[in-house]
Amino acid sequence: MSGAAHLAGFLDMLQAERGASQHTIDAYRRDIDDFLGFAATHALALGDIERRHIAAYFEAQARDGLAAASRARRLSALKQFSKFLVASEVIDDDAFELVRGPKQARALPKVLSIADVDRLLTAAAKRAETASGPDGLRALRLLALVEVLYATGLRASELVALPRSVLTGDGKILTIKGKGRRERLVPLTGAAMAALARFQAATGRDAADNLATGASDYYLFPSRGAEGHLTRQRLGQEMKDLAEAAGLDPDRVSPHVLRHAFASHLLDRGADLRVVQQLLGHADISTTQIYTHVLQERLKQLVFQHHPLSKER
């Protein structure tokens, strides 16, 4: 079997046994495909790969400017693929087992202030009030998306793929299936529920202007595209446009940044770290702890900027 065939088997295993999302599958495919291309260029069969070959590959990646975080992610994917090959008896030795990833400083997430988020939400609400026709429907959709995103801290992929059935019941709590198909409950704010209700009413009232006429009615935010729902990329583009309208730097605004803001603002007001972990759907609390570092950095900046002695020393 070729390397590509073994990769297909590995990806099938990830999907069947670990419940990996299509986004995760695609990321693994890209990372492992790149290394398989390197191996083919150097006429290396899977069983011929040694640590020196792996070192040469990652040295080339670094020279080409691939960030340390991206190299670490790629190494993680290759380590899992190599373990799969050993377990499948395709190769005898795991050359990746003792390979160490690049050292990298853990970057603090970008976070919007409460005032920034308020400006973003205000701009979205203003659009929803003033636009009409298809533009009005898109404005109502964006308002619902941004309100729900800030109210719940959902991942962009989770938000755009919400099924319409998620609103059954009283609509105050959403049941989310996140990474690894783990379920969690997230409450909605009154503003988020109101924005969703307005969007739902508008799509039902004027089907001719529906953003997804002819598409499946399975998704809460349907689309005529191949995925059947609004894409993460389209949501990101619309949020950057909204940031400009709100007078914010578009480079500082994205669905993931609003997820960071949700977590940081909760912790800033005394929320328990374990509760925030559950709301975000983090498997490991160490992932959630990065937000405590954000708050610490903010406190340092406040002291340095405003303490009367900070500029005298």
pLDDT at 17: 83
Q: Is 291 in the active site?
A: yes
Residues 167 and 276 in one domain: yes
Residues 201 and 258 in one domain: yes
CATH number at residue 212: 1.10.443.10
Query: Which is catalytic among the residues 155, 184, 260, 265?
Result: 155
CA–CA dist 313, 174 (Å, integer): 52
CA–CA dist 22, 32 (Å, integer): 15
pLDDT at 167: 81
Query: Which is catalytic among the residues 83, 177, 179, 198?
Result: 179
Residues 130 and 219 in one domain: yes
Residues 281 and 246 in one domain: yes
Torsional sign, CA 115, 119, 124, 126 = positive
The closest alpha carbon to 256, from 153, 107, 145, belongs to: 153
Write out the two tokens for 5: 């065939």
Q: Is 182 in the active site?
A: no
Range of the domain at 145: 114-303
CATH number at residue 52: 1.10.150
Question: Mean pLDDT of successive 10-residue segments in the chain (313 residues)?
Answer: 87 86 90 94 92 93 89 93 93 90 64 91 96 91 96 92 84 81 87 93 63 67 86 94 94 91 86 84 75 56 53 50
Q: Is 6 in the active site?
A: no
CA–CA dist 147, 10 (Å, integer): 38
Half-sphere exposure (CA, 13 Å, Cβ side) for 188? 24
Query: Which is catalytic among the residues 119, 229, 232, 259?
Result: 259
Q: Is 181 in the active site?
A: no
Residues 80 and 130 in one domain: no
Question: How many domains, in total, are found in the chain?
Answer: 2
Q: Could you identify the residue written with the tokens 């990652």?
A: 58
Query: Which is catalytic among the residues 53, 138, 256, 298?
Result: 256
Q: What digits encode the pLDDT tens for the residues 47-65?
A: 999 999 999 999 999 999 8
Q: What digits encode the pLDDT tens for the residues 177-221?
A: 877 778 888 899 999 999 999 998 888 754 444 565 545 578 899
User: What predicted TM-score, i.e. pTM, was given to this entire model?
Assistant: 0.62
Among the candidates 52, 87, 122, a domain finishes at 87
Domain-located, residue 102: no
Among the candidates 49, 70, 87, a domain finishes at 87
pLDDT at 207: 44
Domain-located, residue 288: yes
Residues 261 and 132 in one domain: yes
pLDDT at 218: 85
Write out the two tokens for 290: 């990065």
**SS3 category, 222:** strand
CA–CA dist 290, 109 (Å, integer): 8
Instruction: Give the burial string for 167-196 (b: 16+ CB within 10 Å, else e).
Output: beeeeeebebbbbeeeebebebeeebbebb
Write out the two tokens for 234: 């389209």
Residues contacting residue 255 through CB under 8 Å, at least 6 positions apart: 149, 155, 156, 159, 232, 235, 236, 239
Give the other-Cβ count within 10 Å of 144's Cβ.
Answer: 25
Give the other-Cβ count within 10 Å of 263's Cβ.
Answer: 24
Q: Is 155 in the active site?
A: yes
Q: Is 179 in the active site?
A: yes
Residues 30 and 159 in one domain: no
